[in-house]
Amino acid sequence: MENNTDMANTSPKQALHVLYHSSNMYAIPTGVSIYSLLKNNTDIDEIHLHVINDDIAEENVLKIERIATQFGRRIEWIDGKALADDMARCHLPKFRDTYTSYMKIFAPNIILIAYPSAKNLLYIDSDTVVVGSLRDIPDMDLCENVLAGVYEIQTSNERKRLGISTNYVNGGIMLFNLHNWHKNGCEETIKKTIGDINFAKKIIYAEQDIFNILYSPLIQRLPIRYNVISRQVFLRPASKYIRRFHNPDGYYSDEEVEAAIENPTILHYIDFWTGRPWDEPNVNPFSEVYYQYKNAIMPDETVIGIKVKQSKFRKTIKRVVIWLMHHVSFKKVGELISVILIYAYDLPTLKVSDDIDTKL
């Protein structure tokens, strides 16, 4: 996949501030993502790479630092243990026995204190590659909004669970307006809210759910090219049905989705039916792109241990779906799964149109 950076344009007025969060398990993917970002954004004069160090082994810290040094940049580490200790002192409840998922919530204010003139902060998950220019990010206008994100394919029942009526954004790539975040007291509000037992019962996707529940009116729509995932390719054959049944007005048009798939800025390798590049088996349509970057900087490293806990039933279904994609048709399997998901999530409230093609 080609780098879509236009070198003729000038560097943004503001510095590019980027936040990663990594444990030792994700250290290699974090290094790959940072390498891809720096390789494709050499025309940006000032880049600050902030990384929450959640117990990364020293040898992997050095590997990540060497990647930044190759491009004349440096890593600005945020101590994850110190963040966890602060949360414990505030008697905040853990999510699945750890504070890891909440750490990014507390980074914006830390960075604003260190860089009072900074405007935006782009958070990027470790399981990504940046294949295009981020030049528009530092100066992007979020108006009065506290953050921006890419809309998820979300069912009406999921929105009911969260008590929101707007589109739901994915937390893997999020753009924070640092001053609006601070002005609205977001960190303090979240601290108070996550201790509420009734609120905690709603939470499935940790900080992603928290952002959407508390700040949906103050979340701006980010162009879909900043968070392209395999699901968008996989479910593309049934996009009109998904938009009709799963998302309110404002979701991306077919043209926007197609343009993002053809010319993405960030590829995000979340777990889905297609698998991630390091899974065996997988049919992720962007696996080759991932290994182009990984092998360029860490050819001898093995990506291991990044596993999402799944039931035996889900693992079996996933293997069946991947087998079907190999032996039948990626497009047709995607269309069938889309229809099944519509029925599975929203059958009690929806009447599915007769024009849905359920044939393989």
pLDDT > 70 in the chain, percent: 76
Q: Please report, for the chain, the start and end positions of each structural domain, with discontinuous segments joined by +.
A: 16-309
pLDDT > 90 in the chain, percent: 51
Q: Are 68 and 37 in contact (CB under 8 A)?
A: no
Q: Are 80 and 52 in contact (CB under 8 A)?
A: yes
Q: Are 242 and 143 in contact (CB under 8 A)?
A: no
Q: Are 222 and 150 in contact (CB under 8 A)?
A: yes
- Higher per-residue pLDDT: 87 or 340: 87
Q: Does the pLDDT of residue 358 top 60, yes or no?
A: no
Q: What is the pLDDT of residue 224?
A: 95
Encoded tokens for 334 = 């995607």
Residue range 16-21: mean pLDDT, rounded: 98
Residue range 118-134: mean pLDDT, rounded: 97
Which tens digits make up the pLDDT trace of 25-58? 999 999 999 999 999 999 999 999 999 999 999 9
Q: Are 17 and 118 in contact (CB under 8 A)?
A: yes
Average pLDDT taken over every residue of the chain: 83
Q: Are 257 and 240 in contact (CB under 8 A)?
A: no
Which tens digits make up the pLDDT trace of 298-351? 988 877 545 555 566 666 766 776 667 666 666 666 666 666 655 554 444 433
Q: Does the pLDDT of residue 130 top 90, yes or no?
A: yes
Q: What is the pLDDT of residue 239?
A: 63
* Helix, strand, coil percent values for the chain (each to nearest 5): 45, 15, 40
Q: What is the pLDDT of residue 271?
A: 74
Q: Does the pLDDT of residue 356 top 60, yes or no?
A: no
Which tens digits make up the pLDDT trace of 152-180? 877 667 777 788 877 889 999 999 999 99
Phi and psi (nearest 5°) for 246?
Answer: -105, -30
Q: Does the pLDDT of residue 206 top 50, yes or no?
A: yes
Which tens digits make up the pLDDT trace of 251-274? 888 889 889 999 999 999 987 667
Encoded tokens for 359 = 């044939």
Residue range 78-99: mean pLDDT, rounded: 87
Q: How far is CA 223 from CA 136, 153, 312, in A?
A: 11, 14, 36
Residue range 9-14: mean pLDDT, rounded: 74
Q: Which CATH class is domain 16-309?
A: alpha beta
